[in-house]
Structure 1
Amino acid sequence: MNIDEIIAIDFHTHAEEPCTCARDDGYYEFQQDFAKYFKNPAGHNMLPTIEETAAYYRDRKIACVLFPVDAERETGFRRYENEEVAQLAADNSDIIIPFASIDPAKGRLGAREARRLVRDFGVRGFKFHPTMQGFYPNDRSAYVLYEAIAEEGAISLFHTGQTGVGAGSRGGMNMRLKYSNPMYLDDVAADFPDMPIVMAHPSFPWQEEALSVATHKPNVYIDMSGWSPKYFPKILIQYANSILKDKMLFGSDWPVITPDRWLKDFDTIGIKDEVKPKILKENAVRLLGL
């Protein structure tokens, strides 16, 4: 990856299409509800492959952090194989930075997988979705996995706040929003002070909790994905322009929100000219050690 030629780093993109296996029954209906929530008319018919994602980002000279989400225990949908995603990312290493995802319920088996993914496949971090995976981030049963991630020098990225996943579906697909309160990450950040932690999204309805954790704990960052910037809370913009200008990261939530849309709206919200390069690229370069 030629960092000098890259104009931005999108810290939050999803691998949405299977690589070598068909999707499970009910998956496309799940994606249709998701598309309706984000007002994406393409729905499940236009979900990009990893190769298509790479081509999109390469054309724009934007690097991207790419990950699957292992929520098979709660959703019933089989996960992507982390190794497969990492291999496809390696084939497009000029533009893709590979992350993986492991359900913390997998315990020591998950910890062994995490170590192998970092050592043998070049995975740089791990995505957690507490609402989809059905766990509190500070549950001690997850700590064996965090220990492996921290010892391998990788990053942990956590979904925070309300999620569009399951929104509008009957019972919200049985997903519980309470798990994604960012305050639970305060414990994780205190117990693993050397493990970089990224809180994903404006953390509605807990935005101030997220800002307080990121302000208090040196190892905590925020990626600004999942919302069009024109809907960002004023206090998030205020902190991004000041106290947390070195800890904010550009993220889109591709493919439900595209970088084109995000970047266009980002230019309208009053971010200082001297802060924009930090959010769009410099903070991510430093965090990823690029």
Structure 2
Amino acid sequence: KFIGFAGLDPHKGMDALAELTRMVTKHGMRGAAIDPYLARIPASHARYYPIYAKCCELDVPIVITTGPATLVRDAVMDDAHPRHIDRVAADFPDLKIVISHGCYPWVNEAVMTVHRNRNVYMDLAEYEEQPFSEGYI
């Protein structure tokens, strides 16, 4: 069984909010997804905050793509660091956040972010057998 998440561009402003609403209410998407390294701004940037608020309003989770972004030209690795997700989790305690790809290579920081925030979850897809991944267990 598959479920869909609406990929959003924070640079689209209000159009991103309308797109999220439409994708959830009319097309059955079950949440939102963002990629900070593609947007070239960290997850804690103010451009994302209206998206987070809309997710809370619609009661849907958000998946935040993390990791080293090795295939994205000129990506800034720090944009995917878990400290930004920790900030968002504190600012939006009702927002359900899924850290994708385990925030590799920041394994310890990602685990601590999940541990300290009741609203943050993590998937380990792709990096479960990489160096330092034993920290996930």
Q: Which runs of 4+ in 1 moved over 3 A?
A: none
Cα distance per residue 1:71-110 (max 9 Å; x no partner): xxxxxxxxxxxxxxxxxxxxxxxx2111110111111111
Tell me whether 1:226 sits opposite 2:132 in the alignment: no
SS of 1:221's equivalent?
A: strand
Q: Distance in 1 between matches of 2:57 and 2:49?
A: 12
**Which residue of structure 1 lines up, in the alignment, with residue 49 of structure 2?**
143
- For 1:116 and 1:224, locate their aligned partners in 2 and report how far apart those are by CA, in whole Å: 29
Amino acid of the structure 2 residue aligned with 1:206: W
TM-score by length of 1: 0.45
Q: Describe how 1:76-155 pairs up with structure 2 within 5 A.
A: 95-155=1-61
Question: Equivalents in 1 of 2:54, 2:114: separation in Å?
Answer: 23
1:194 pairs, out of 84, 89, 94, with 94
* SS of equivalent residue, structure 1 residue 199: strand
- Provide the residue aligned with 1:212 in structure 2: 112
The structure whose Rg is larger is 1
Q: Deviations over 1:17-56 (max 9, x none)?
A: xxxxxxxxxxxxxxxxxxxxxxxxxxxxxxxxxxxxxxxx
- Compute the displacement of 1:111 (Å): 0.8
Structure 1 unmatched runs, 5+: 1-94, 167-172, 238-290
Secondary structure of the residue aligned to 1:202 is: helix
- Distance of 2:43 and 2:17 partners within structure 1: 15
Q: Give TM-score scaled by structure 2 length.
A: 0.92
CA contact (8 A) 2:69 2:75 kept: no
> Which residue identity is paired with 1:200?
S
The equivalent of 2:103 in structure 1 is 203
Number of residue pairs matched?
136
In 2, Cα distance between equivalents of 1:204 and 1:230: 11
- Rounded Cα–Cα distance in structure 1 between residues aligned with 2:50 and 2:129: 39
Give CA deviations for 1:133-168 in whole Å, capped at 9, x if unaligned.
2111111121111111111011100112212323xx
Instruction: State the identity as a percent.
Output: 30
2: CA distance, partners of 1:100 / 1:145: 11
Give the residue type in structure 2 aligned to 1:160: T
* 8 A contact 2:7–2:34 mirrored in 1: yes
**Secondary structure class of the residue paired with 2:3:** strand
Quote how far apart the aligned CAs of 1:190 are: 1.1
CA distance in 2, matches of 1:132, 1:176: 9
Among candidates 52, 57, 74, match of residue 174 of structure 1? 74
The one-character-per-residue Cα deviations of 1:229-260 (angstroms, maximum 9, x if unpaired) are 333622212xxxxxxxxxxxxxxxxxxxxxxx
Report how far residue 188 of structure 1 moved: 0.9
Q: Report if the CA contact (8 A) 1:161-1:182 is conserved.
A: no
Unmatched 5+ stretches in structure 2: none
Question: RMSD between aligned alpha carbons?
Answer: 1.4
